Amino acid sequence: MAASATTRRAAVGASTGVLAVVLSFAFASSTRVAVALSLFLVILIKGMVLLTSAQLRATHPVIARAALTVVVIDVVLFATYFFPANTNSNLAIGAAMSIVLLGLSFLTGASGQISLGNGAFMGVGAFAMAIWANHHATSPIAVGLLVAVVSGAAMGLLLGLPATRLRGPYLAGMTLAFAVAFSAILSSFNSWTGGDSGLQLPTAATPPQWLLNFFGPGTSLLTTNSMWTADIAIFVAGIAFFFMANLFASRTGRAMRLIRDNDVAAELVGVSLPRTRVVAFVVSSAYAALGGSLTTLIDNAVSPSTYSFALSITILSLVVIGGIGTIPGALIGGIIFAYSNSVITWITNQTGLNPQGNLASQLNGIIFGVLLIATMLFAPMGIAGTVRHLRHRRRRRVPG
Amino acid sequence: MDPILTSRIMSDVLGGLTNGVVYGLVALSLVLVWRSTGILNFAQGAMPMFATYVGMGLLSYHLSYWPCVAISIVAGFAVGGVTERVLVRGLYGKPEINPIVVMVGFLIVLEGAAAAIWSTKPRGLPNPFSSIDYQIGGKPFGLSDFSVFEIITAVAVMVIIASLFRFTKLGLQLRASALSPEVSRLLGVRVGRMLTLGWMLSTGVGTVTTILVASNYFTGLTPQVMDGVFAFGFIAAAVGGLDSPVGAIISGISIGIILQFVGDYFNSNDIILVALLILVVSLMVRPNGLFTRSSVRRV
């Protein structure tokens, strides 16, 4: 039975794929568009076919996760082609931030540690990317991102070593001290970091020629560039989410959750506390750095004032509001971050506040702070955790 | 005149001592809350900052300096008590992340609210004492009227807190409810009130500290005035051990003096770096602080 179901699914998938290709070529305005459209649809269908197989989800969860990642990347990348420039730049910012959030969410949710310094780790990646690009102008973007990840991980290891022996409040305080010290650290390496004015990237991230050809002449630079950076950010975020989902489910992830719930029991069954804790901290720092390097890419520049202590608190707020230790929570937080400025502007306009006034300029911090407190007091699992909880409860109520 | 008194080293020691007592006070206020409720209060800088704005704001209503100081301290008690009752009460016994997150949230709400009400422009507090260094034989000596006042105030606060805990019945109740809440309740101690009182005292100490910090001509009172001081105070408390009031004060003063030398002989940017280094190294050597007696955690 199972075999025939698999065969049937494969047959349906293949025929839909062929149909999709035929339709693309029939209706698209040019061959190029038709190729793109059929590529998009074939990837989508192939992914969906894999995803809908319950058997595959049970026996090969990694492949199922990969399929989900590919489908999501496929759909979102396709969508960026139609989005206006400002939607794309919001999407890019949201994707970059969601990587950072995922890192902290993992640290806190899986290992029970907390960091108030992830804004500074983000800054480490942002500056590493900019410094690298300024010294190696021709190096591909991927190398810059990799350099940023490695520097973030190295910095995380440096600070994480004492963290292996620390419990919650001490670690939180130490990372807070790092966040507060970060601007002084940047000033100490003035000749590298460009001091107060920060750094510019030598060249803006522009799409390759074949993609520009695809757009055809006359498309504005703003449109193509914002689409390109959004695509990079979404692609990288997809990979980062894929890795994290696997890490969550892996032996290491389970060991971390055991430490969070009962560290004595964890040691008893042979989990190395120091090593697992330091791994969690390093992964979280590396993710923050990756998000930071994407931010440099999106902004085409990096400024030290961006990576203040306030950013670290914003990151913490977004993780808590989205849902600690959940993957959708990191996405929700990223979206909130991308649109928070627009929402604040909207509120300011609606209430008739003076946009240059004291209250309007503080609204962002006050709202995030109130939401942070309210979430922790009344729904400590955040949006994603609460939704999941409600869904489980409803499912349990239905008999059978 | 003895050249040692006017030497650079002497002036650094005295200047460091003046900063160090401030760090020691912040560390002490953190320890007070930690010992009574097991919470590291990340809003320990922001709560007194708010109280100071409320109290010292009355200066513009033709009230003179000392009544405003008194009102600020009373406001500090009030802020501490209300915070414990409203925000913190529900957090006891929750995972240790919850109070950290809530207090960080409270920190940004208070700083945002203060900036919204009073703006981020530094507000100079009138300084009742001169900040000009004493001269010995025409050379500056590392103390001024104001820094002597600062040291005396800090020592007075420390002595008051210590004798309250050691010699009064109230202090005994406070210690008992921190040590064993259930037994204390059984013996008739109003444990809930003691916890509130611990937070009130801590914020009161914080308010004195904030006034001292903000009276400095160069900083003034700003919503973020305590951020940096809090970081140094936390480092002092962590190095000394969050359980040890004496350790907090000693390490606060030592860190103040060390950092004064760093700032003088190296670069002012290096101060926070060295502080971070001290913290990391000391936590690696003794994760529970240098002055804590027991390092074994019960399962």
pLDDT at B298 over 50: no
User: Is A18 inside any structural domain?
Assistant: no
Q: What is the three-class DSSP state of B197?
A: helix
pLDDT at A9 over 80: no
CA distances for B200 relative to A294, B33, B166, B230, B271, angstroms: 45, 9, 18, 18, 31
Determine the average pLDDT of the residues in A201-214. 77
Question: Residue B270: CB partners within 8 Å, gap ≥ 6?
Answer: A184, A188, B262, B263
User: Is B275 inside any structural domain?
Assistant: no
pLDDT at A59 over 60: yes
Query: What digits encode the pLDDT tens for the residues A327-341?
Result: 999 999 999 999 998
Closest CA–CA distance from residue B276 to any residue of chain A (Å): 7
Query: ipTM of this model?
Result: 0.86
The fraction of chain B above a pLDDT of 90, given in percent, is 36
Query: What digits encode the pLDDT tens for the residues B100-111?
Result: 999 999 999 999
User: Is B31 inside any structural domain?
Assistant: yes
Of all residues in chain A, the one with the smallest CA distance to B242 is A170
User: Is A258 inside any structural domain?
Assistant: yes
Query: What digits encode the pLDDT tens for the residues A265-292?
Result: 888 888 887 888 888 899 999 999 999 9
Considering only CB atoms, A187 lies closest to which of B34, B269, B279, namely B269
CA distance A377 to A136: 49
Determine the average pLDDT of the residues in A250-267. 82
Q: Are A228 and A83 a contacting pair, CB within 8 Å?
A: no
Structural domain tally of chain B? Answer: 1
Per-residue pLDDT band at A168 (split at 50, 70, 90): low
- Scan residues 132-191 of B and list those with Cβ closer than 8 Å to A: none
Determine the average pLDDT of the residues in A371-385. 91
Query: What count of Cα atoms within 13 Å lies in the side-chain half-sphere of residue B32?
Result: 31
What's CA B65's distance to the chain center, in Å? 21
User: Dihedrals φ, ψ of A250, to 5°?
Assistant: -80, 180
Least confident range of A293-302, A309-318, A351-360, B269-278: A351-360
Query: Which amino acid is residue B44, in one-letter code?
Result: Q
Query: What digits encode the pLDDT tens for the residues B260-292?
Result: 998 888 887 788 889 988 988 888 887 777 777
Domain that holds residue B78: 18-123+136-225
CA distance B112 to B104: 12
- Scan residues 4-63 of B and list those with Cβ closer than 8 Å to A: 34, 39-40, 42
What's CA B184's distance to the chain center, in Å? 28
Chain A environment of B94 (Cβ under 8 Å): 380
Considering only CB atoms, A184 lies closest to which of B112, B234, B273, namely B273
CA distance B29 to A169: 15
pLDDT at B1 over 60: no
Cβ burial of A30 (10 Å; 0-12, 13-18, 19+) is exposed
Domain that holds residue A228: 83-338
CA distance B234 to A176: 10
Least confident range of A167-171, A347-351, B82-86, B192-196: A167-171
Of all residues in chain B, the one with the smallest CA distance to A188 is B269
User: Is A297 inside any structural domain?
Assistant: yes
User: Is B110 inside any structural domain?
Assistant: yes
The fraction of chain A above a pLDDT of 90, given in percent, is 32
Query: What digits encode the pLDDT tens for the residues A18-58?
Result: 777 777 777 766 776 777 777 788 888 877 777 777 777 77
pLDDT at B296 over 60: no
- How big is chain B by its Cα radius of gyration, in Å? 19
Cβ burial of B290 (10 Å; 0-12, 13-18, 19+) is middle
Q: What is the pLDDT of residue A188?
A: 82
Of all residues in chain A, the one with the smallest CA distance to B91 is A377
Cβ burial of A223 (10 Å; 0-12, 13-18, 19+) is middle
Pairing between strand B139-144 and B133-136?
A: antiparallel
Determine the average pLDDT of the residues in B29-46. 89
What's CA A327's distance to the chain center, in Å? 9
DSSP classification of residue A301: E
Cβ burial of A188 (10 Å; 0-12, 13-18, 19+) is middle
Structure tokens at A86: 């400002």
Query: What digits encode the pLDDT tens for the residues A138-166?
Result: 888 899 999 999 999 999 998 888 777 77
CA distance A134 to A206: 16
The DSSP H or E segment spanning B142 is: strand B139-144
Query: What digits encode the pLDDT tens for the residues B170-185?
Result: 888 888 888 788 888 8
Structural domain tally of chain A? Answer: 1
Q: Are B117 and B110 a contacting pair, CB within 8 Å?
A: no
Of all residues in chain B, the one with the smallest CA distance to A373 is B102
The fraction of chain A above a pLDDT of 70, given in percent, is 94
Please, which residues bridge with residue B133 across strands?
B144
pLDDT at A400 over 60: no
Quick check: A373 and B109 CB within 8 A? yes
Quick check: A358 and B234 CB within 8 A? no
CA distance B151 to B129: 13
CA distances for A61 relative to A56, A58, A386, B13, B165, angstroms: 7, 6, 25, 63, 59
Over chain A, what is the mean pLDDT? Answer: 85
CA distance A312 to A330: 15
User: Is A372 inside any structural domain?
Assistant: no
pLDDT at B293 over 70: no
Strands (DSSP E) along chain A, which ranges?
A: 199-200, 301-302
User: Is B254 inside any structural domain?
Assistant: no
DSSP classification of residue A324: T
Query: What digits encode the pLDDT tens for the residues A73-107?
Result: 888 888 888 888 889 999 999 999 999 999 999 99
pLDDT at B166 over 50: yes
Quick check: B234 and A176 CB within 8 A? yes
Query: Which amino acid is residue A321, in one-letter code?
Result: I
CA distances for B127 relative to A312, B65, B150, B214, angstroms: 35, 9, 11, 9
Per-residue pLDDT band at A399 (split at 50, 70, 90): low
Q: What is the pLDDT of residue A290?
A: 97
Of all residues in chain B, the one with the smallest CA distance to A183 is B269
Chain B environment of A317 (Cβ under 8 Å): 105
User: Is B4 inside any structural domain?
Assistant: no
Chosen from B86, B108, B284 to mutate, greatest number of chain A CBs within 10 A: B108
Per-residue pLDDT band at A249 (split at 50, 70, 90): confident
pLDDT at B162 over 80: yes
Considering only CB atoms, B287 lies closest to which of A166, A187, A371, namely A166
Least confident range of A257-266, A309-318, A340-349: A257-266
Quick check: B108 and A167 CB within 8 A? no
Question: Residue A154: CB partners within 8 Å, gap ≥ 6?
Answer: none
Q: Are B230 and B218 a contacting pair, CB within 8 Å?
A: no
Structure tokens at A332: 């929700």
Q: Are A126 and A293 a contacting pair, CB within 8 Å?
A: yes
Q: How many CB pairs under 8 A join A and B?
A: 142
User: Is B109 inside any structural domain?
Assistant: yes
Give, in degrees to the nearest 5, the angle at Cα A155 between A153 and A156: 60
| Residue A258: CATH number of its domain | 1.10.3470
Pairing between strand B133-136 and A301-302?
A: unpaired
Residue of higher predicted confidence among B124 and A230? A230
pLDDT at B295 over 60: no
Structure tokens at A4: 């025939």
Let me know how many helices (H) and strands (E) chain B has, helices first.
11, 2
Determine the average pLDDT of the residues in B74-97. 91
Pairing between strand A199-200 and A301-302?
A: antiparallel
What's CA B135's distance to the chain center, in Å? 30
Let me know how many helices (H) and strands (E) chain A has, helices first.
18, 2
Chain A environment of B113 (Cβ under 8 Å): 362, 366
